[in-house]
A and B are shown apart, each in its own frame.
Chain A
Amino acid sequence: MGEKNFENPDKITDLKYGFDAFKNGKALFNKKKRLPTMGWNSWNAFGSGNTEALTKAMCEKIVELGLDKIGYKYVVLDDGCYNAKRVDGHLESDPVKFPSGFQGMSDFVHSKRLKFGMYNDIGSKLCSGLEVGTCGYEETDAKDYIKWDIDYIKVDNCYNVWDNATFSNPENARFTFAPNIRSIRINKTNDSGKSVFQINLSAVEDGEITGNRAFIERDYVTGIGTFDGTGPDSTPLGELSSELVFNVNVPEDGEYDLYVTYATGSFEGAGAWLQVTVGENGEYYYDDFLSVTENQDSFKESPSIKISLKAGENRLRLMNHRRQENTLLSYAKIKENFEKINPDKDIVFSICEWGKTQPQNWGYKVGDSWRILNDITFQVGSDGDSGHASWEGAYTTSVTAQYNKAVIMDSFSGPGKGYNDPDMLMIGMDGLNETMCKTHMTMWCMMNSPLMLGMDLRNVKKDDFICSVISNEDVIALDQDPLGIQAKRIYTTKAVSPDTTYLRDNDRIDVLCKPLADGSIALSFINVSLGDRKDSVYIGTDLIKHYMSEKMADPDRFFNADKFEITDLWTKEKKISEEKGFSCNELKACDNLTIRIKPL
């Protein structure tokens, strides 16, 4: 097979892949309404050093510890399992690390009544640099994965050829940002070529910037694209893509010529790819590169772009949503091939583009979950080394960095949509004590996160605290509750709007509320900070009603109940309360009180 030639991303042949369709709530495929996936993934435990022998040992331990019986079914090979290059165009296993091949591994996993998961990447290479990414090989790979009888696939985003993702050419930003725009000119000519209408509009004075990515720089608008969400800097809520919009009044229906005065770049914030549309859900009149200018401050006028306008006011949108659209197209191409080759094969599809392209907006169209940030740890383990985890720290590499973002993303999650994925559990790695592990588990279960274990299970014993934390069936029941609703943060000691404020200062107590299928709710009081707190926090039923009543299975029964049965899901203590509220008086550092409240 020759080298693949990557020139331009796919055309958007159907507006169902386009930005305006992100809000229509329609998946591209008949998605199974599943609950968050539970299992074990090799990455946090062994990094690129996972082997067939280690994976088999993990399968044996899952069964020995009874983890399979409580839902941990999927065993996923992450990066580091492939041969460095394709063989006759096909993926193969690393012959040293996986001598029995993927078929042998799959057969072994299935022989233990577990499910088999694999890993790949929408780019040209995997993150480890092996030249076996799916880009350009989607059909071949889908056939092979189905032949190997996989039940799950995690798909990464390194070496993306259509965006400046990790290890990509940084100049790929030219695909994903519009050029800087100084002004536009709209012209209409009659049959004899004479101009009958003309209007000149300044980007700065007449244009309207939507969203929070673009801004004015001197006499032009720049940053027309989508905010990169890989790092923890930005809230995931609100309009994270920007457009430059002009309200254009024209005297009559017809075709007009649009000329854009622009300057191109090839870096985050200024690119060379322009999209033009009018109104909502309309066709793209232009969706391509403009010719390159000398630099990002050297402006020139584009050739004519034909647009159709109606008499009266039109909303002319200059934009670049290709960061999101290209990534959706890449993931959809893999999924489409699975569907084409065997529509009955049930494969969990885990999107791992690290929140870069704001997948909370579009991930539901193709995936069962989507990562929301870069990795939870970079200090992964190896055989004999547990790896390192942190409760808090800079960037994305801590329990709280992931939690702080995911906790306000409940509106994107659900059984028909998919789930926010704050990355794999770090329970069992060095750096987290028992209290932290309990709260980490609680957070992930309350937030309906996939529960993928990431420790070397050979170090886990039936009677140790790690096993008891990951096996707490009452807490797992929250994650796997059939209602499938992610908890909402209904109170925090830090902010007025607990459900929408992105908080990164951990010195606080949060209260999360999760409605459950039997009409109960779960309440979790979480001390996010590294210090003990003596706060007394009281949550009345009126506050629960305000935030949760529309999502609850049976709100009337709950709010009209005379008393409640309250179960502490960690200590297992039960009590009956006639109070119309629930309180927590003090919490040790990083601790949580999580109760299930059943109306009687």
Chain B
Amino acid sequence: MSDGVKFHYDVDGEDFTSAGRASVMVKKTLRELGLSPEIIRKVSVAMYEGEINMVIHAGGGCADVEITENKVIIVLSDHGPGIADVSLAMQEGYSTASDQVRSLGFGAGMGLPNMKRYTDDMVIESEVGKGTTITMTVNINA
């Protein structure tokens, strides 16, 4: 595998049904590249949760995925409302999702904690009123 294989995906914020399509494509690509099932699951679950968050909270955004010899880096960017209190948002069970989102099976306050759980490093940069960028890294040779 050569260093720095990069992919860019736009995440449509209008359609909840289509949320997760980018994660499915990344999962297929990682499988084709021959990564282990454990790494593939970590990357795809973390990205899927991020993608769902972008759709339900931020009206969509974009995802950039870079695969190197040693790690997979996922950068999720949106121009949504931002996260006012990141440490509060990281608590399991805390959620600002609507009842409608909960009725669809999300909004349990597990999204960000799951993203952290499945990645080796996660950095959240967020500004209220401007948007959020989350950078996640999964080490391949951990």
A is bound by B: no
